Amino acid sequence: MSFADLIFTTATEGSVLIKNEGKILPLKKGDSVCVFGRCQKDFHKSGMGSGGSVHVLYSTVLIDELLKAENSETAVFDRELVNVYEEWHKENPFDNGGGRWAGEPWSQKEMPVSKEMAARFAKNNSKAIYVIGRNAGEDKDLQAVKGSWYLSETEYDNLVNICSVFDEVAVIFNTCGIMDTSFINDSAFNGHIKAAAYVWMGGMEAGHSAAALLLGKENFSGKLSDTIAKIEDYPSTKNFGNEKENIYEEDIFIGYRYFNTFAKDKILYPFGFGLSYTEFNTQITECREDSLTVTIKAEITNTGNCSGKETLEVYLNAPNGKLGKASRVLAGFAKTGLLEKGQKETVTVKFNLEDFASYDDSGITGFAHSWVLEEGKYYVYAGSDSLNAEKLSFGEKDSISIGRTYAVKKCSQAGAPFKEFKRLKNENGNTVYENVPLNKNDLEKIIKENLPKEIPFTGNKGISFDDVKKDRNLMNDFIAQLDVKQLATIVRGEGMMSAKVTMGITAAYGGLSESLHDDYKIPVAGCADGPSGIRVDTGREASLMPIGTQIACTWNPELIEELFIEEGKELVRYEIDSLLGPGINIHRNPLNGRNFEYLSEDPFLTGIIAAAEIRGIKKGGSSGTIKHYACNSQELCRNSSDSVLSERALREIYLKGFEIVVKDGNLVSLMTSYNPINGHWAASNYETVAMILRDEWKYDGLVMTDWWAKMNHCVKGGDATIKNAAYMIRARNDIYMIVDNDGAECNQYGDNIEECLSNGELTLGELQLCVKNILNFILQAPVSKRPLRALKEILEFNTECKAAPEGAKTVNERIDFIPDENTWLTVDHKGVYNISGTYIKESDDLSQSVTNIMIDGKPASSLECRSTAGVFTTVNASQVILNPGTYHVTLEHTKPGITVSKISFNSQVITPVSMGVIK
């Protein structure tokens, strides 16, 4: 299948049908249908922020696709109503928030549908569809208010009026995640909402895939990756959205782990649930256990009237024991291929009980800081969702018995909190709260005992990076040649819009200085924002995949691997060495704005799907960077709000998905998060990065910070700043993302690396180890397979215009000016022109945008415009070669809110020396 076909298939398989009374869907011949809701036309394709900022090749719109598919054998759609919406849309255009970062509203202004209007259209139509749109994203959480988590007043009133005259109504959720779904059964709707489906945001095939499902050209086979309940019933809600800290007192009881254990009656739609247009019969044909390895085989038969796919879900119920556990935990799943009517397939789920051991962070089992299997009976359940899965038997036994409690794996305490609080515990099905075990580590001692060995400095011995490519055993000898300044340059990334990599992507790293690049032949690697596709801020177009939640709802890792093989190929074509994705943080609460990038409330499903993505990108020729390690559970104050949680919750829930991906063996790049975890910022958190990720999991790939992350002292904690890069290195986080372009070698942000090397707070061996990880990443990256390009590729411009148009304003080099439609630059000699600019961006968030400098309508350079909190900032853009003549210089802002106060061009005359002919 083509990339577009795989995007379409993923979008269809990840859409979830949650209600279909009377089988009013799919729409069929004889149905006359009214489509209400403005998002039929303004159909969302992705969430907000870097995760969805792809200049898409094309997009598809629901109503357009429905009308395109209409013929004598299909349902028909009321064209008059379509025209009414189109006319209303002209007066009420889509509100994108002015294009500002996180500026788009959660929901768009909706056209009111009066009872009279609804009745008029009901006279000639039998069914109604109501499309509801919601968006959130980076720097923008949802809120439990109308028009966000809840229906707006207009949406509610519209549905009341529609349901008063239509007996068969389907609600379609074109949303970035789950929202309040309890309204479906409100008495105000007279029981007329017969069907509901989450079609999420399906990338550039969003409208096409949703239309195909509604028309029955494709069948729903998605399963929910989250539990749907009322917002007040999620145990995390009362500790969500705090600016200073969020106490994870619900502990391991996230999503269905909580609801299945304590509050089954609060579940509206269970985790793993999803309907189909057909029916299936599932017969367990084999259920056995051998040395704690459980094998389940099931024969699944399509007993309905159309083709479809079904998923077998297997859950484990471990003895509650001394630790207290969730009553159900997903242990495995398998999805069938496409089954025609009457066709059957046998699927197999296999897992080992030890992979689902619980973590004892207190020593209550006798095995402190260990993964433990407690004595007792282990029950296994299988079915099509977490709530209704049925207990299986093993011959004459109803469970697997373990006669003694034992440690599966002994660990060291790492990531435990310093703050006292109480956490939720299961005591025989009742909620009780216990004191959380506190951190007792002598971290200063641990660090000193585990310092890496220093590689003695040798100076340049003539070993190039090309030599290391041929013989990787030369890596230490290669690093030994590099002095402190060169080493420090390598651990700083540059961006955005660096001319040293594919223009318009997010960062450049590696051989960023002339000595590293020209003398040692270290190439410059580049990464691009994801995870839904490649973000290129020059406007270059790329493919847009479905959002992460939709990808997870496929429950189909084989399909997802195929999808990301194509993404890997596209990365290679664009000369990009890593996609910044997938995002695999846990859906702790439905209000997290960035949930659309992430996959699920369940760490096992998260890990399995994410591992498939990483494998796919690798097979396609590039790499993925999993993020955000860890506990990025909200967007409000995301770079300062402390995630306070137990070591057990950290390991079992929030790190488990990362662990699965790391141990799958294909990961080479990982990004830490902005937030502090138990008082230590993630980018400099020694216990989560050095002790768990590096030492326990044996991960030796690249670790990078998030963009403009803050760090604090690894041991003392305290205030965090962007200058604490030495503590990042001590935590074995390899590279700081990012400093401004050309800022790595000169230490533009004034970080404390060299200072801490001098005063003994950092060792040379620690710095060298981070450099080694970066260089090992570059060795396997696509950039090492390409010829070494020039450090900077300078664009050259020629013009036929010798004079500006009459009445135009002209400026010469070295004169500051503000480009506009009437400004022309006169150049009297050929030269290399250094472009710089001064700008202000009022917001104080971490938004990332650029202003492109256009010469005669072509991109020439760019100003990286991050938020300046109201302070004018001067940045260097890049260099261009201009030949004599007159050029039209304009600006192109990728985001609003940027005010450029001046631009300047300064040249140096091209001579044999400046051209490099004479050394």
**DSSP calls for 347-362:** EEEEEEGGGGPEEESS
| pLDDT at site 843 | 65
| pLDDT at site 844 | 60
**What is 795-906's CATH topology?**
Jelly Rolls (2.60.120)
In this structure, the number of other CB atoms found within 10 A of the CB of residue 176 comes to 31
In this structure, the number of other CB atoms found within 10 A of the CB of residue 757 comes to 19
What own/partner pairs with CB < 8 Å and gap ≥ 24 does 332-336 have? 332/296, 333/555, 333/605, 335/221, 335/309, 335/310, 335/311, 335/554, 335/555, 335/556, 336/300, 336/309, 336/310, 336/311
Sequence-ordered alpha helix ranges (H) in 127-265: 153-165, 206-214, 256-262
Contact 230, 180 (CB under 8 A): yes
Written as six digits, the tokens of 720 are 């965090």
As to burial, measured by CB atoms within 10 angstroms (0-12 exposed, 13-18 middle, 19+ buried), residue 449 is exposed
Cα–Cα dist 681/261, whole Å: 33
| pLDDT at site 915 | 39
pTM, to two decimals: 0.93
In this structure, the number of other CB atoms found within 10 A of the CB of residue 795 comes to 17
| pLDDT at site 894 | 72
Topology match between the domains 280-433 and 444-785: no
| pLDDT at site 913 | 31
Written as six digits, the tokens of 740 are 């401004």
For residue 755, the surrounding DSSP H or E stretch is helix 753-759
Q: What are the φ and ψ backbone dihedral angles of 544, each rounded to 5 degrees?
A: -115, 120
Contacts of 746 (CB under 8 A, 6+ apart): none
Cα–Cα dist 93/99, whole Å: 13
656-664 helix and 603-620 helix, angle to the nearest 10 degrees: 30
Contact 362, 369 (CB under 8 A): no
| pLDDT at site 608 | 98
Cα–Cα dist 273/255, whole Å: 13
In this structure, the number of other CB atoms found within 10 A of the CB of residue 658 comes to 27
| pLDDT at site 912 | 35
Contacts of 663 (CB under 8 A, 6+ apart): 697
In this structure, the number of other CB atoms found within 10 A of the CB of residue 440 comes to 8
557-573 helix and 603-620 helix, angle to the nearest 10 degrees: 40
**Measuring CA to CA, which residue among 857, 865, 853, 625 is closest to residue 741?**
865
Written as six digits, the tokens of 646 are 């137990």
Distances from the Cα of 252 to the Cα of 372, 653, 660, 903, angstroms = 15, 6, 17, 54
CATH of 280-433, one of 2.60.200.20, 3.40.50.1220, 1.10.260.40, 2.60.40.10: 2.60.40.10
Cα–Cα dist 105/769, whole Å: 45
Which residues of the chain register pLDDT less than 70?
Answer: 842-848, 866-867, 869, 908-919
The DSSP-derived string for 556-619 is -HHHHHHHHHHHHHHHHHTT-SEEE--B-----STT-GGGGTS--S-HHHHHHHHHHHHHHHHH
| pLDDT at site 892 | 85
Tell me how many degrees the CA angle 59-65-67 measures, rounded to the nearest 5. 145
Beta bridge partners of 298: 284, 347
Cα–Cα dist 111/154, whole Å: 8
Cα–Cα dist 429/770, whole Å: 47
Dihedral of alpha carbons 824, 828, 834, 836, sign: negative
Cα–Cα dist 19/224, whole Å: 13
**What is 3-225's CATH topology?**
Rossmann fold (3.40.50)
Domain boundaries, the chain: 3-225, 280-433, 444-785, 795-906
Distances from the Cα of 342 to the Cα of 26, 279, 307, 313, angstroms = 20, 10, 9, 21
| pLDDT at site 911 | 35
DSSP label of 804: P
Written as six digits, the tokens of 241 are 């959205």
| pLDDT at site 869 | 66
Tell the residue number behind the tokens 């996609």, with chain if given. Answer: 579
| pLDDT at site 846 | 62
* Strand order across the beta sheet in which 193-198 lies: 16-20, 193-198, 169-175, 127-134, 32-36, 76-77
| pLDDT at site 845 | 61
The CATH-assigned architecture of domain 444-785 is Alpha-Beta Barrel (3.20)
In single-letter form, the type of residue at position 221 comes to S
Catalytic residue IDs? 706
In this structure, the number of other CB atoms found within 10 A of the CB of residue 80 comes to 10
